[in-house]
Each structure stands twice: as C-alpha cells, then as structure tokens.
C-alpha cells in the first residue's frame, strides 16, 4: 500500500482498533496505540503483489502452507500491519482477521512506504519467531531483496534474468515472473535487449 498517514493523535487500545477495522472502509495499521490510514496502491504495486500471490498459491495448492493477500493483518507485539503478501504454514492464532505466525512476508516498496517497510516493519517482522523470509520488492525499478533467517537476515538482491529461491516453501521463481506486466524503465530495457538478442540469433 501507499503512504501510512497518522489518523488520530490519541492512543487507542488493540480491541478498539480491531473493532474499528471491521467497520472501516479504509484500512489502518496500528503501531503502539496509534493508527495510520493506508492510501491506495499503484497498478505496478498490484501487478507485483498479484504475481507473487498467484505464484505462491499455485505452488502451495497441496501444501499445508497458505498464501494471503493484503486484507489479512499480522500482529507482532503491539503492532498490526497489512503485508502485501504472506504465507502462513502453521497458524497459531485463533483470529480470522490476523495472524501472529507468518512464514514469509512480502512488501512492495514505494517512495512513500520505504522508511516504514525497511526500518519499522523490518525490525518488527524479524522478531516473529515463525518468520523465515522477509521479501522487499521495488516497483519503480527492478530489485527483489530477500532476507532469510537461515542467513541471519543478510540481504540478497535479485534482478532481471535471476531466479529467486523462496527457501521456506521450496519455490524458485524467475524475477521476470515477479515483474510480469510491470511498467518501469528496467523492465522495458530488459525486454528490449531480449528481443534484440533473439533477432540476432535468428537472422
């Protein structure tokens, strides 16, 4: 989603937040008693999130693991977030509206969400004991960053022509599939070069 805008200056309880979300037409994230309204996403944002969600869904059809899109919340400590995509393998939460036990979390970055996704959410997410991979995907240029618990959360970056390993669900996905239909300069240049190469090898 796009920028999180602080909605109220007064502190509310988690119970008040959860009840309010059931009736609200706008989604809000909750950080230590304060709620932040979420604005709409771009087409590129939705293309990337949709591509990842569909790939996860197809891969996990016969698995106990289950993908969720951006309408299901994650609770970590005194915070609730709406990740763009996540995978839950062993849900330890009774609520129908949030989970506390994701295996993979995916966030699609934009200029307005970068600070929240790279700093606040990264620290909060990596404190979740079930989380195995945190994925940050740029929408304005090509860069897929995967941080794995098995590698002590170091950053691995993938670009067009690479394949991304989602280790925790044993899925390998070409970066091209993640950026299918996305319109940015990196994607355009990559496919133009691919077309030129194919032309040279067939003439």
Which distant-in-sequence residues (6+ apart) come within 8 Å of 152 by Cβ? none
The verdict on residue 90 lying in a domain is yes
Asked whether the predicted pLDDT for residue 1 surpasses 50, the reply is no
Q: What is the pTM of this model?
A: 0.91
> Residue 6 pLDDT > 60, yes or no?
no
Q: In the predicted model, is pLDDT for residue 2 greater than 60?
A: no
Question: Total structural domains in the chain?
Answer: 1
**Is residue 80 situated within a structural domain?**
yes
CATH number of the domain enclosing 85 = 3.90.1570.10
Mean pLDDT of the region 22-37: 94
In a domain? residue 136 = yes
Q: Is residue 23 part of a domain?
A: no
- What pLDDT shows up at residue 4? 56
Q: d(Cα 49, Cα 37) in Å, to the nearest integer? A: 20
Lowest pLDDT segment from 27-31, 84-88, 90-94, 98-102: 90-94
Residue 113 has a pLDDT of 79
Structural domain harbouring 177: 41-202
175, pLDDT greater than 50: yes
Residue 114 in tokens: 């970068």
Beta 98-99 vs 102-109: how paired, if at all? unpaired
- Higher-pLDDT residue of 199, 71: 71
**Structure confidence at residue 187 (pLDDT):** 96
Q: What percent of the chain has pLDDT over 70?
A: 95
Q: Which residue has the tokens 């970066």?
A: 175
Residue 180: C-alpha distances to residues 1, 70, 174 (Å): 19, 19, 10
Residue holding tokens 């940015």?
A: 184
Kindly state the DSSP code that residue 89 receives in the 8-state scheme.
Answer: S
Q: Answer whether residue 147 is part of any domain.
A: yes
Q: What is the mean pLDDT of residues 98-114?
A: 92
Closest C-alpha to 59, from 24, 89, 21, 37: 89
Q: 111 in a domain, yes or no? A: yes
Q: Tens digits of per-residue pLDDT, 130-146?
A: 999 999 999 999 999 99
Report the pLDDT averaged over residues 3-15: 73
Q: Note the pLDDT tens digit of each residue in 146-174.
A: 999 999 999 999 999 999 999 999 999 99
163 C-beta neighbours (distance < 10 Å), count = 11
Whether residue 114 has pLDDT greater than 50: yes
User: With 90 as the cut, is the pLDDT of residue 199 above it?
Assistant: no
Is 95 domain-assigned?
yes
Q: Is residue 30 part of a domain?
A: no
Count of beta carbons in the 10 Å neighbourhood of residue 83: 25
């Amino acid at each position: 989603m796009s920028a999180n805008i602080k909605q109220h200056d007064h502190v509310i309880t988690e119970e008040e937040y959860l009840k309010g979300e059931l009736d609200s037409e706008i989604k809000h994230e909750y950080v230590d008693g304060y709620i932040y309204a979420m604005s709409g996403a771009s087409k590129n944002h939705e293309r990337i999130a949709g591509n990842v969600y569909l790939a996860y869904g197809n891969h996990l059809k016969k698995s106990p693991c289950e993908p969720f899109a951006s309408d299901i919340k994650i609770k970590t400590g005194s915070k609730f977030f709406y990740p763009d995509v996540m995978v839950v393998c062993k849900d330890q939460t009774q609520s129908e509206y949030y989970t506390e036990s994701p295996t993979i979390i995916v966030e699609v970055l934009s200029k307005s969400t970068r600070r929240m996704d790279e700093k606040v959410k990264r620290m909060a997410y990596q404190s979740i004991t079930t989380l195995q991979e945190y994925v940050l995907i740029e929408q304005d240029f090509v860069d897929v960053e995967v941080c794995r618990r098995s590698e002590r959360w170091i950053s691995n970056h993938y670009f067009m022509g690479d394949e991304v390993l989602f280790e925790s669900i044993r899925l390998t996905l070409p970066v091209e599939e993640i950026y299918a239909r996305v319109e940015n300069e990196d994607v355009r240049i990559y496919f133009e070069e691919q077309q030129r190469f194919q032309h040279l090898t067939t003439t």
